Structure 1
Amino acid sequence: MRRDERSTPTKLSSSPASTSLTSPRRARGGPRRGPRRRGRPSLRPQRRSPLRAGLVRLAPDERVLWLVLHHIVTDGWTDAFLMQELGRLYDDSSTSDAPSAPTYADYAAWQRRAQSGERHAAALARWRARLAGAPALLALPTDRPRGDAPAHRGARVAFTASPAALAPLRRLARAEGATLSQAVLTVFAAVLRRFADQDDLVIGLTAAARGRVELEAVAGFFVNTLPIRLDLADDPTLPTLLARVRDAVLAAHEDEDVPFEQIVRALRSPGDIGGSPLVQVAFAPQPPGDVGLHLRGCAVRPLDVHAGGAIFDLTLLTRETAEGGLEAFLSMPPICSTAGASSSSRERSRPRSPASTPRLRPSPRCR
């Protein structure tokens, strides 16, 4: 919402398009087949609704609800908000009396105005200073040669870390005044340095980009990618590296309103490197908490269906569990193998002597 010259509230967006739910039908080939087939084709919002839904009948008392959303209309925050709204509407289909919240169109109008001001120009200048001379590519060893353009397909590997395994990392984070996500990013950076044999790293950190309280109940794609640049040339200890990560992340969040695309254009990053410009590896920590669907009188469980997408060469997605552990996924495109490095990959990678192998010096506080 905004106010015009007469201080009268004015709505900026039109009514959302309606989305119909396909009729329940009996599943063929298992409960995952229907959702997976519908998760792969690309949605073209100019031709159809960016949201599609269906209900599959498995048995008289068992159903599968599938939702396919184009990424231009959703992010992790919106997914959780959507599940909450579905649960509320299932319990009570009456219209909510809550005051009207801003819309994504309102946010887009505010963002355009903000990007024309001096504050935005200063933030963009700080991004240029942080990333001046940054490497165009984080050269991870891959199983297949890079193509001329990134292939947005791939696979993922899931793994978990128990609360006991995370305990030393939590203690280190508390000692350095950092968060667990910053500590995980620190370890991730150390591993990337080891495999890429590269001291100057740029890792994309996903940010919710909902710095205004009014945006917390707005559906849409807000996520921004923050390029976090880290220097490991002096072979830092783990606490030292964590302090650098903490400071770099905090500084990046101060300027998180600058879209990633504008940062890339400002740096004139080359687009012919066979991958995403500036950032090829991303870290995506998800907010803790329950994001599942709760329907009164129903037992609901999620089906793990992966649509096969991979935006970057490597993406680490993490979420803290209620028990204090960590759930994580590594997603990668076809240039990387989920089964490990092949012999051809090992032949293409550079030989490394023990003296030149990147490592982190041990610290008593990390043991």
Structure 2
Amino acid sequence: MIPRQMPLSFGQRRLWIAEQAAPGSLAYTTPMLLRWRGAVRVDVMRSCLDAVVERHEVLRTTFGTERGVPTQVVGEFRGADVEVVDCRGDAIGVDQAIRAELERPFDLVHGPLFRARIILEADDSGVLLVNMHHIVTDGWSVGILQDELVALYPALAAGDVSPLDELPLQYADFAVWQRELLTQERRSALEGYWRKQLSEAPAYMSLPYDRDPSGVESRDGNTFSFSLDSAVVDGVRALAREENSTLFMVLLAAYKISLSRLTGETDIVVTTSVAGRSHAKLDYLIGFFVNNLVLRTDLSGEPSFRDAVRRVRQTVLDAQDHQDLPFDMLVAAIRPPRRPQQTPFLQTAFVHQPEPIAQYHLGDLAVRPIPAPVAAAPIDLVFSFFEDTGIELQINYRVELFKPETIRNLSEQFSATLSAAVRQDEGGENDRKDR
């Protein structure tokens, strides 16, 4: 069988270029870790992973060049890269096995870009670690992978065939389709909007760095986690309803205000991620669809918190209406100055993570996702949140650029901003009158 050679999607091309600049970087690994309780059938688990890789061509894809142009090469299915690691009775060995896999770089040319490790920690417990390069997957795709394992494991354990419907298309087909949709006329219109929206915008935010980022090559990362008080959560949700805004918009406003206070700037540029799945046929496809959306907000004039939320709301809505321009094309259209070790408009991001799943089942196995150790930070500062019983937040940061106390100060500034906004609302101050 001759491997299929197809063009890269726009998002894949951006990651491919990043990989050429830093081969083997760990900044773009996308792991999934599941801890199970119960008597696992290793043969069935292996068969499930084989079925997923056979089903999704992108998971057996590598990346080469044809006359200097990058191409994705869809390889013949020869089984998933699955290794069984027996650490029964050795808790330290489990952690070491996880870290050893997460610290292994990927090779885009030779692959594989999907690796799985079935780590046995006892006769009735263990960890499934699936590690993928971001060029073949995204956060939505990890959820698809989990859903498919939920369907496959009990079926294959019972000796049945896969219950999954055949996919209507593959990721490489999307890469071709994406080019057809982005006609020259559509691209010109989108570029025109973004040139106007980002005219004279700061391409590089002056974040509260502890070290000049231009001289730092390390992408080593760490994560700081915190949560909001329940009273603040209630107040923030009420404010969002009253302003006809989403929770994302309100929290983003607080983040932008915090950055403004810490940096002294009022022209605040933060990116976010959008799913990039504009058609229902893409909802069940593993692949890299996500796009970076640039959100620029003017906070000059000392706006009240509600005014800031309104400005952010309009920023987000307008950006979403023009989200189809791939980020690398946006940068090419704006032509901002270049700096070493940094990408224009992409120093900090604000992301709404999906609500974590506490536990589910693979047949007789009780499974719960576990967080992966942080190995790298793809950009300088990522502020994310998810809703559980309350609002949980995380700050992922490059450890060579920020001291832990700087990140803690940012979290405190953010929490204080929201607390003050809620207190003002509860006190009935004049912030309500201009609605």
1:281, distance to aligned residue in structure 2 (A): 0.7
Among 419, 425, 428, the residue aligned to 1:365: 425
- 2:106 maps to 43
8 Å Cα contact 1:154/1:310 also seen in 2: yes
- 1:6 maps to none
SS of the counterpart of 1:127? helix
1:208, distance to aligned residue in structure 2 (A): 0.9
CA–CA distance in structure 1, aligned partners of residues 355 and 169 of structure 2:
25
Deviation per residue, 1:286-306 (Å, 9 max, x gap): 233638653122222333222
CA–CA distance in structure 2, aligned partners of residues 24 and 293 of structure 1:
23
**Larger % of helix: which?**
2
Gaps of 5+ in 2: 1-56, 59-73, 408-416, 428-435
CA–CA distance in structure 1, aligned partners of residues 215 and 240 of structure 2:
40
CA–CA distance in structure 1, aligned partners of residues 403 and 93 of structure 2:
25
Among 95, 117, 120, the residue aligned to 2:187: 120
Matched ranges for 1:273-312 at <5 A:
274-288=341-355, 290=357, 294-312=361-379
Matched, 1:19 2:84: no
TM-score for the superposition, normalised by structure 1? 0.85
Matched, 1:230 2:297: yes
User: CA 1:175–1:16 in 2, change beyond 3 Å: closer, same or farther?
Assistant: farther
Query: RMSD value over aligned CA atoms?
Result: 2.8
CA–CA distance in structure 2, aligned partners of residues 14 and 116 of structure 1:
30
8 Å Cα contact 1:145/1:335 also seen in 2: no
1:330, distance to aligned residue in structure 2 (A): 0.4
1:211, distance to aligned residue in structure 2 (A): 2.1
SS of the counterpart of 1:299? strand
CA–CA distance in structure 2, aligned partners of residues 97 and 154 of structure 1:
37
1:274, distance to aligned residue in structure 2 (A): 4.4
Matched ranges for 1:132-147 at <5 A:
132-147=199-214
CA–CA distance in structure 2, aligned partners of residues 366 and 107 of structure 1:
50
Deviation per residue, 1:37-68 (Å, 9 max, x gap): 21122211321211100111211112121111
CA–CA distance in structure 2, aligned partners of residues 311 and 203 of structure 1:
15
Matched ranges for 1:206-225 at <5 A:
206-225=273-292
8 Å Cα contact 1:209/1:222 also seen in 2: yes
SS of the counterpart of 1:107? helix
Matched, 1:255 2:255: no
CA–CA distance in structure 2, aligned partners of residues 339 and 97 of structure 1:
46
8 Å Cα contact 2:232/2:418 also seen in 1: no
CA–CA distance in structure 2, aligned partners of residues 66 and 155 of structure 1:
20
Letter in 2 for 1:85: E
Percent sequence identity over matched residues?
29
Residue-pair matches, total: 341
Matched, 1:330 2:395: yes
User: CA 1:149–1:136 in 2, change beyond 3 Å: closer, same or farther?
Assistant: farther
User: CA 1:240–1:69 in 2, change beyond 3 Å: closer, same or farther?
Assistant: same
8 Å Cα contact 1:124/1:263 also seen in 2: yes
8 Å Cα contact 1:156/1:338 also seen in 2: no
Matched, 1:95 2:162: yes
TM-score for the superposition, normalised by structure 2? 0.72
8 Å Cα contact 2:87/2:94 also seen in 1: no
SS of the counterpart of 2:232? helix
8 Å Cα contact 1:115/1:121 also seen in 2: no
SS of the counterpart of 1:300? strand
1:109, distance to aligned residue in structure 2 (A): 0.9
1:20, distance to aligned residue in structure 2 (A): 3.2
1:125, distance to aligned residue in structure 2 (A): 1.1
CA–CA distance in structure 1, aligned partners of residues 78 and 207 of structure 2:
43
Among 198, 202, 221, the residue aligned to 2:269: 202
User: CA 1:138–1:273 in 2, change beyond 3 Å: closer, same or farther?
Assistant: farther
1:279, distance to aligned residue in structure 2 (A): 2.1
8 Å Cα contact 1:208/1:222 also seen in 2: yes
